[in-house]
Amino acid sequence: MLSILLTIITINIVYVSLFTLRVILVIKGYRLVASILSMGEVFVYLMGLTIVLDNLDKPINIAAYCVGWGIGVFLGSKIESYLALGYIVFEVIVDSIEHELPMKVREKGYGVTSWVADGKDGQRLVMKVLAKRNSEPRLRSLILSFAPKAFIISYEPNQFNGGFLLKGLHSMRN
């Protein structure tokens, strides 16, 4: 009985982790990788479904299915977070117009577009920085080391057109 419970939980953890990763990959545009992953996902699903349907006579088996599902969602999202797929855009606003700040960030390998904007209390320097998502903590630390009071908004873009950092992106996504 314990072996069936553990099997149901384990299979569901694997299945739902793969499912979660596949959905995230599709959303981020990695269609080919998602398609390949889905073949493993459906295999695990069918194996697990057979075991679950053969053992529906005890409510504890259904509970094991639910536990495995919940852990699978959590684990799948943790794996995606670890992989940090895709890109991040930082919009940075600093109080003083430090013309050397964009150059300092560019010297570290990031693409920066900057301009002067009007704020409530005067002119501000605004920068838009595109980076790979796995470098988000480093980029945030870098900007704050140069401008500790910077206002930073970050978000994940979902469509791209042009730009020097994206030359290899389209070949990876298709």
Q: What CATH class has 87-173? A: alpha beta
Provide the edge-to-edge strand list for the sheet that holds 111-119: 111-119, 122-132, 87-94, 151-155
pLDDT digits (tens, 9 = 90+) for 99-153: 789 999 999 988 899 999 988 888 899 999 988 888 899 999 999 999 999 999 9
Residue 150 CB neighbours (<10 A): 17
Angle between helices 136-146 and 100-107 (to 10 degrees): 150
Question: Domain spans of the chain?
Answer: 2-83, 87-173
Q: What local confidence, expressed as pLDDT, does residue 141 receive?
A: 94
- pLDDT-derived band of residue 61, with 50, 70 and 90 as boundaries? confident
**Cα separation, 128 vs 105, whole angstroms:** 11
Give the gyration radius of the chain's Cα atoms: 23
Q: What local confidence, expressed as pLDDT, does residue 129 receive?
A: 93
- pLDDT-derived band of residue 168, with 50, 70 and 90 as boundaries? very low
* Structure tokens given for 36: 């390949």
How many residues in the chain? 174
